[in-house]
Amino acid sequence: MDNKKPLLALALMCVAGVTQAGEKEELLKLRNTTTNLIKQLVKQGVITDKTAEEMIKQAEADADKQVAEAKATAGKEAVPADEVRVAYVPDFVKDEIRQQVRSELREEVVGDVMQKAKNEQWGMPNALPEWTRRFKLSGDLRLRDQAEYMAKDNTQGYYKNWQAINDRGGETAAINNNEEFLNVSHDRNRFRERLRLGIDAQVADGLVAGIRLTTGNIKNPTSTNQTLGNFGDRYDFRVDRAFLKYDLVDDRKFSWLTLAGGRIVNPFFTGGSELVWDEDLSFEGAAATVRHRFSNSGSLGDIGAAGPTVFATAGAFPLQETALSAHDKWLFGGQAGLDWGFDNQDNLTIGAGYFDYRNIRAKPNTNAAQNNICNFNTPDNTFSKPDFMQLGNSLATICADNTNPLLIGQNVGLVGLAPDYNILNINAAYDLAFFAPHHLKLSADYAKNVGFNLQEIQNRFGRNFASQGGDETKPQTSAWQVRADLGWPKVDVSGNWSVFTLYKHLERDAVLDAFTDSDFHLGGTNVKGWVIGGNYGLVKNVWLTGRWLSGDVITGPRYGVDILQLDVNTHF
């Protein structure tokens, strides 16, 4: 009997050792799980980095305290050297524990198994071809009510609809179709819809081919809205994007090089501003972006920090090509910047760009013997008219209207852009996570047309040069905008919200009016004013947006427009 006691004690010690090893493993798993959970909460903006560190420190302090208390309690009761104590757990308690664990884990385990079965297609060998899993479908639908209120003292019969005049081939035809002047006196209410459907296909590692179809007028590159009220006529649905994109990543899955070609998304950083480019504008051509990220220590203090990244983007984009002229229209652009994610989850992004438009200026008909009429245009004369304009840029007459023999040379036939456009653009955005999960984002945008030369314009066009609103002897070449956003970074979840406001000052020749914001003041330059609005999440992937846009001209006779937009947005 005495010989069995040491053997029994040894066996129990081995069991205890195994138990302790298992408990240690479970404790390590729990500790790692908790730490990873805290890191994810920080990355999602639920808690700040400072709060995460305090939680971890408090947990360690509580654990130390509990260990000390356990040791103190264990030391109060002496255990004889020849006595081994084993805690007894009754069978009915074990059964209750088993049932409780099964009940709590059954639903979670079944869910995990079903998801894994779905992903790995258990029981469905070759149910779908492998190539079908390389496609990703996405889209969004927006319904909008847009009310436009004209200022009561707007000046009528001054602001001409130059796009309609060019499309009609002269002022006479535009007058006959009541399209010579813009509407500045009649309020308007429009119901509008935007549908976009995109498909991305994984061609090879890092290489994606994509297309996006959208509603909207083919003549307007800055809007994909479809206005309702076409007497039941079906909507246009056209290719808005068609591209190849290649991302080259390093060992840490960081994309340090992006190449894109075709009809692509805007490759330049804008900070959410539409001062230079409307958000719906797609670029045709090719672009490349190279990035370099400076490494960080990867410690707990760097939770959520992306570290500083420098980037540079360059692109070449054909605007208009024809076989009848050697002067195709182009846009060449470059931008360099800094994207810096700080330890406290704040983020700063700065970009400085330069954009050079080529061959977009008017080339007047100089055939004085024929009254400079459009019938005697060269291909270069006709090709020099802009394919699309909004309002604001300074213009020059290309040729005289010849559709009415009694008014030959008196009415304008075609017009084109008078100045050159070489735009310097600086963007900055700072995202403060101090109020996490709510964020405060402050942004600013500045643009300057350094290609504008008033003396050269006057020498080149003489009396055929005229600005749209105001004295053409005073250059108007600067633009700026400031904006503030407060709320959730994403509002496509029930209860999430955000509010925003901005003020902009956009002089007539600061940017190309064809590509700037198409909503503010109904599109174009030579405008100033403010915008206020907000978003609210209804259910997952559905949210409301309301905006009030109030704009007026900077120079020239009064032309003010207030716009109310109410949107229902959804994406899938």
pLDDT per residue as tens digits for the range 204-239? 999 999 999 999 877 899 999 999 998 888 888 899
On whether the CB atoms of residues 380 and 363 are closer than 8 A, the answer is yes
Query: How far is Cα 429 from Cα 485, in angstroms, rounded to an integer?
Result: 11
Could you count the other beta carbons within 10 Å of the beta carbon of residue 304? 24
Query: How far is Cα 249 from Cα 252, in angstroms, rounded to an integer?
Result: 8
> Which amino acid is it at 321?
E
Q: Which run of H or E residues covers position 499? A: strand 497-506
Q: Please report which residue ranges of 136-216 form alpha helices under DSSP H.
A: 162-168, 171-176
Of 321, 314, 387, 325, the residue nearest 355 (C-alpha): 314
Query: How far is Cα 208 from Cα 519, in angstroms, rounded to an integer?
Result: 32
Phi-psi region of 230 (alpha: psi -120 to 50; beta: other; left: phi over 0): alpha
On whether the CB atoms of residues 387 and 315 are closer than 8 A, the answer is no
On whether the CB atoms of residues 203 and 245 are closer than 8 A, the answer is no
Query: How far is Cα 407 from Cα 555, in angstroms, rounded to an integer?
Result: 30
pLDDT of 3: 46
Kindly list the strands in the beta sheet with 465-466, ordered across the sheet, starting from the edge strand earlier in the chain.
412-417, 395-400, 465-466
Longest Cα separation, the chain: 133
Q: Which run of H or E residues covers position 110? A: helix 91-120
Q: What values do phi and psi take at 4, rounded to 5?
A: -80, -25
Query: How far is Cα 208 from Cα 241, in angstroms, rounded to an integer?
Result: 13
pLDDT of 87: 55
On whether the CB atoms of residues 403 and 173 are closer than 8 A, the answer is yes
Spell out the SS3 assignment of 195-258: EEEEEEEEEECCEEEEEEEECCCCCCCCCCCEECCCCCCCCCCEEEEEEEEEEEECCCCCEEEE
Tokens 């992004």 -> residue:
349
Q: What values do phi and psi take at 33, rounded to 5?
A: -60, -45
pLDDT of 18: 45
Which residues of the chain register pLDDT less than 70? Answer: 1-33, 39-52, 63, 67, 69-94, 96, 101-110, 113-114, 116-128, 296-306, 403-409, 467, 469-472
Find all residues with CB under 8 Å of 361, minimum gap 6, and list them. Answer: 384, 396, 416, 417, 418, 419, 420
Q: How many CA atoms lie within 13 A of 550 on its CB side?
A: 8
> Could you say which DSSP state residue 293 is in?
E
Of 387, 386, 390, 355, the residue nearest 518 (C-alpha): 390
Of 533, 526, 518, the residue nearest 479 (C-alpha): 526
Query: How far is Cα 180 from Cα 165, in angstroms, rounded to an integer?
Result: 7
pLDDT of 463: 75
